[in-house]
Amino acid sequence: MTTIYVQNEKQPKSTTDGIYLSHNSWDDFHFKLTFDASYVDIDGKVHALGQVKIAYLGVKEGPLNLEGGVRRLSDTYYSLGQSQSYYETIRKLPNAVGKRVLNALRDVVLDETRFARVAEDSAFRVSLMRYLDQRQIASFRSILKGGNITSSYTFAYHTGMGPLFELSVNSNSLPLTNLHALIGRNGVGKTTLLANLALAACANNEGSLKDPQYGWFISDESEALFGNVVAVSYSAFDTFKVPTQDGFEHQLHIPYDYVGLRFLKEDRLKTRNELTDELIACLKICLFSSRKETWEQSLQILSNDPVFRQLPLTKLPDLKVEEEIEQFRGVVSQMSTGHQIVLLSISKLVELVQDRTLVLFDEPESHLHPPLLASLIRAVSNLLKKRNGVAIIATHSPVALQEVPQNCAWLIDRPEHLRARPMDVETFGENVGYLTQRVFELEMRESSYYATIEEIVRQENVKTIDDVMAALDGHLGGEGKGIAIALLAAKELDLLN
């Protein structure tokens, strides 16, 4: 019979058929009810379930002192998983033990009568439902029944100057419409716009707070528009404000995660070893939970790149225990910066993306050559379709534009105030040289600096923006970088005549 164990370590002990709960220090307005849960099956395999919040009727503020060594929590207790993957992992547990696990933890998604019974309890409203709503509860129930959670939705983003753009996600469309691209010159304000989108989404997810400093979202949804926000940026020079930093004026209504080079708590850049540690920890989560299949599908898309194809990453899903992943640390450390960033980005997104996640990806082309960029975009889009999420990427790469349809492509400029204009030509599968001209007006080749950049790009040994920067001894402004990246993309596709 399944037994519940409470421990200090996240890694479960060797006892089989056990639910292991490790207390998490997360504070929900003084309630500390969050646990990291794992299940060890009868064969000794560990299944990382994810975060669950546990309370009992009338529980007081502070940490919950939960007693282990029991088959089932007493009747006054109740629990609620905090993510889509929690319920997906439990549903897929071997030997159909998922229902037994949920019953042992007095889960309110499985037991609708218990849900109604605890709905007005203070801990349930303040802590367990802090980042969830009725739509997400319904999707969790659908997951347990093996149902489909994808849906179509539309939302608009407004600033103090009026509406900026309206985006639609159609779950059944081809090409996919869950990834939208904002393209424009360097310095026009794309990175700041992405930062404001995150701040607006986290500040008030219902749209009632119209803050002209960050903007606001509008939709016809009766529930919260987004489930969480994930921001991805690998620029060493980014200093944009994030919702989890001190100085953000509003209460955080949905979870926010940052994926990138910055160590936000210490206001510094991460070391190469720290990035490797982050990837290894992420792989352990992805490969020992319901995310495993999605991670494998993402890797298959990335394997169109010859370097990824040659790496022994396909062996990872065959590992039986988390510790074996450590032997791949050497493989990761030998990867190029670009390939390590791609693997970390897609792995973190597999870990974090759930129903209605808003992903904000700033310049995914950084450190990448065009084919790898295209593969990354396809992998992200595929993941978002599976999870019912949406991404907005800021880019100055026409290769990124090639991967989205016209109704998902926006030209960003700033004649006086920031504005977003729909592309006036079809972009999906369009010639990269043609897109380059439409966006950046590169037909003005009489420009002397343009000629210098083109001459450098035409050199056989020049393959990346770093090569261009080295040839110019670092002397190239933002406009020139955009031109160089566009020309490199054209060169990669043999379109540089």
| pLDDT at 248 (0 to 100) | 61
Q: Cα torsion at 224, 230, 231, 232 (round to 10°)?
A: -150
Contact partners, residue 343, CB within 8 Å, separation at least 6: 279, 302, 308, 313, 332, 335
Q: How confident is the model at residue 441 (pLDDT cuts 50, 70, 90)?
A: low
Cis peptide before 405 (omega within 30 of 0): no
Structure tokens belonging to residue 363: 């310049």
CA distance 34 to 51: 7
Instruction: Kindly state the average pLDDT of the residues 92-121.
Output: 95
| pLDDT at 205 (0 to 100) | 46
Structure tokens belonging to residue 440: 């950046």
The residues facing 46 across adjacent strands are: 40
Reported pTM: 0.75
CA distance 47 to 39: 5
| pLDDT at 209 (0 to 100) | 61
Q: How confident is the model at residue 31 (pLDDT cuts 50, 70, 90)?
A: very high
Write out the E strands in 123-238: 153-159, 162-169, 179-183, 216-219, 228-233
CA distance 251 to 121: 22
Contact partners, residue 145, CB within 8 Å, separation at least 6: none
Q: How many residues does the chain have?
A: 497
Instruction: Kindly state the average pLDDT of the residues 83-99.
Output: 91
| pLDDT at 86 (0 to 100) | 94
| pLDDT at 148 (0 to 100) | 72
Instruction: Kindly state the average pLDDT of the residues 17-41.
Output: 92
Instruction: Kindly state the average pLDDT of the residues 14-33.
Output: 89
**Alpha-carbon distance values, 173 to 151, 177, 378, 384 (Å):** 11, 7, 15, 13
Q: Name the packing angle between helices 478-492 and 448-457 (round to 10°).
A: 40
Write out the E strands in 211-327: 216-219, 228-233, 256-260, 262-263, 268-269
Residue 362: name the closest of 177, 229, 234, 178 by CA.
234
| pLDDT at 266 (0 to 100) | 83
3-state percent breakdown (helix, strand, coil) of the chain, nearest 5: 40, 20, 40
CA distance 314 to 300: 9
| pLDDT at 470 (0 to 100) | 94
| pLDDT at 318 (0 to 100) | 85
Residue in the block written with tokens 């489930």? 227
Contact partners, residue 43, CB within 8 Å, separation at least 6: 16, 94
pLDDT digits (tens, 9 = 90+) for 184-212: 877 888 889 999 999 999 876 444 567 77
Q: What are phi and psi of 150, to 5 degrees?
A: -70, 150
| pLDDT at 418 (0 to 100) | 86
CA distance 78 to 66: 12
Residue in the block written with tokens 């504070």? 27
| pLDDT at 34 (0 to 100) | 94
**Alpha-carbon distance values, 373 to 177, 275, 353, 402, 496 (Å):** 18, 20, 20, 11, 19
pLDDT digits (tens, 9 = 90+) for 386-410: 889 999 999 988 999 999 999 999 9
Range among 45-59, 127-141, 239-253, 408-422 rated most confident: 45-59
pLDDT higher at 224 or 95: 95
| pLDDT at 118 (0 to 100) | 98
Write out the E strands in 399-482: 409-413, 419-422
